[in-house]
Amino acid sequence: METLTFVLSGTLIAATPLLIAALGELVAEKAGVLNLSIEGMMALGAAIAFITVTTTGSYWLALLTGGLAAVLLAALFAAVVLFALGNQVATGLAVGILGVGLAGLIGKPYDSMTVAPMPRLPIPFLSDLPVVGRGLFDHVALVYVAPIAAVGLWWMFRHSKLGLVLRAAGESPETTHAIGYNVIAVRFLAVLFGGFMAGVAGGFISIASATLWSDGLIAGRGWIVIALVVFGTWRAERVAIGAYLFGFATIGELLVQSTGLAVPSQLLTSIPYIATIAAIALLSMDGRRVRLNAPVSLGRVYRETQ
């Protein structure tokens, strides 16, 4: 494997789960709900997907069950936040912790077990190209689906009625309600979608990337996903760019070390986090841009009034 191949391949593998989960959270936040429980949803998805593969051998079924398990968790979050009007930050943290704990508990008999990695789907002809072939086109199908999903969501938000309704629910719930849409239902479904994506992302990590399950597998990536959505100023295409940049940053650290440069490794490990803060600061600085894109009612409790 050449260095460039590794960089391309590693970036895609690191970025894909981030992107998938971020796209899900993007939909939820566009509709006005801030779901901080992503770490827990990803963990649960990872554990359930792993167990499914170990018992049935089917990778696609595993991704499905992982997604569905996370949907259940997301439903709990949505119920508390939308019907019981719970504070979104607190509930998100609570459900997140619950998810991580449940994943560890359910997955305990499978801790540190390993599976054969999900079969790859090399794109014919393109994957035979030198260097970039293996780097870009010899991956698990989900790696190709992620950018396609990003494009799909971009189109949806820009050009479709569904996208309009979602955005309206986030920007101006009262008006949306007044013209006859059930804001609660829209948000509920948006959150469930976010949950499904997070679960699939977690499943990717356990059955395609790390090919094992262990407590703590997600290692804080759920928080990076949340940062990604802000980094991308709530636009699907920018979230995608951010995800690939982040993926590159994590690989970059390892690359620098392997070339023997004497930079303190702890500094290198910190780079993705420092980069996120810098990005957030730079992007949020332009208040107008943030206001234009951040869903106005993000995080605020919405109640139907008679």
Partner 1 sequence: MKSGLLALVAGACALAMGASAHADTFKVGVLLPSPVADVGWARQQDLGREAMEKECGPDVKATVVDNVSEGPDAARVMNQMMTGGAKFIVLGSFGYMNDGLRAAKQHPDVDFIHASGYKQTKNFGTFTARNYEGFYLGGMAAAMVTKSNTIGIVAAFAVPEVVAEVDAIGLAVQKVNPDAKVKIIWLNSWFDPPKAQQAARALVSQGADVLFSLHQDTPSVVNVAEAEKVYVVNTSSDMSKYGPHSVLASVTNDWTDYFVEQCKAAREGTFKGADFRGGLAAGTVKMAAWSKDLTEEQMAKIKQAEEDIKSGKQHVFAGPIKDKDGKLRVKEGENLPDPEIFGLNWLVAGLDGSIPK
Partner 2 sequence: MTRLPFIIETRTHRRPGFALIAPLVAIVVTVVAGLIIMTALGVPPLRALYFLYAAPLSSLYNFGEVLLKMTPLLLIAQALAIGFRAKVWNIGAEGQLILGAIGGSLLPIWFNDSQSTLMLPVMALIGMVFGMGWASIAAWLRTRFNANEILVTLMLNSIALQLLYYLVSGPLRDPAGFNFPQSALFPDAAMLPVLIEGTRVNASLFVGLAATVLAWFFVERSMMGYRLEVGGTAPSAARYAGFSEAQAVWLSLLIGGAAAGLVGVFEVAGPLGQLQRVVSPGYGFAAIIVAFLGGLNAVGILFAAFFMAIIFVGGDIAQTAAGVPYQVNTVLQGVLLVSYIAARLFVDYRVRRRVPPRAVEAHA
Rank residues 122 and 216 by Cβ distance to partner 2 and give the closer one: 216
Q: Are 78 and 192 in contact (CB under 8 A)?
A: yes
Environment class of residue 172 by beta-carbon count within 10 Å: exposed (0-12), middle (13-18) or buried (19+)? Answer: middle
Distance CA 189, CA 250 (A): 33
In the complex, minimum distance from the CB of residue 103 to partner 1, in angstroms, rounded to a whole number: 13
Decide which of partner 2, partner 1, none touches 117; Cβ closer than 5 to 8 Å per partner kind. partner 1
Q: Return the HEC string of 35-63.
A: CCCHHHHHHHHHHHHHHHHHHHCCHHHHH
Write down how long the chain is: 306
Rank residues 49 and 251 by Cβ distance to partner 1 and give the closer one: 251
Decide which of partner 1, partner 2, none touches 148; Cβ closer than 5 to 8 Å per partner kind. none
Distance of CA 210 to the CA centre of its chain: 16
Contact call for residue 255 and partner 1 (CB under 8 A): yes
Rank residues 126 and 185 by Cβ distance to partner 2 and give the closer one: 185
Q: Tell me how many residues contact partner 1 (CB under 8 A).
A: 39
Closest C-alpha among 47, 50, 151, 56 to residue 106: 47
What phi, psi does 141 have (nearest 5°)? -55, -35
Rank residues 259 and 266 by Cβ distance to partner 2 and give the closer one: 266
Give the binding range for partner 1 (CB under 8 A) out of 111-119, 121-129, 224-232, 234-242: 111-119
Give the binding range for partner 1 (CB under 8 A) out of 34-42, 75-83, 248-256, 287-295: 248-256
In the complex, minimum distance from the CB of residue 85 to partner 2, in angstroms, rounded to a whole number: 6
Instruction: Report the residue from 16, 52, 209, 297 that binds partner 1 according to the rule CB under 8 A.
Output: 209
Place of tokens 């980094």: 231
What phi, psi does 72 have (nearest 5°)? -60, -45
Distance CA 38, CA 223 (A): 7
In the complex, minimum distance from the CB of residue 67 to partner 2, in angstroms, rounded to a whole number: 20
In the complex, minimum distance from the CB of residue 81 to partner 2, in angstroms, rounded to a whole number: 8
Decide which of partner 1, partner 2, none touches 80; Cβ closer than 5 to 8 Å per partner kind. partner 2
Footprint of partner 1 on residues 124-153 (CB under 8 A)? none
In the DSSP assignment, the letter for residue 3 is H
Sign, CA dihedral 288-292-18-10, equals: negative
Task: Enumerate binding residues for partner 2 (CB under 8 A).
Answer: 36, 40, 76, 79-80, 83-87, 89-91, 93-102, 104-105, 108, 180-182, 184-185, 215, 220, 223, 226-227, 230, 264, 266-267, 269-270, 273-274, 276-277, 280-282, 284-285, 287, 290, 303-306
**Residues 6 or more apart whose Cβ sits within 8 Å of residue 87:** 301
Contact call for residue 214 and partner 1 (CB under 8 A): yes
Distance of CA 164 to the CA centre of its chain: 22
Distance CA 81, CA 54 (A): 35
Binding site for partner 1 (CB under 8 A): 1-3, 5-7, 9-10, 13-14, 108, 111-114, 117, 205, 209-212, 214-217, 219, 250-251, 254-255, 257-260, 262, 264-266, 269
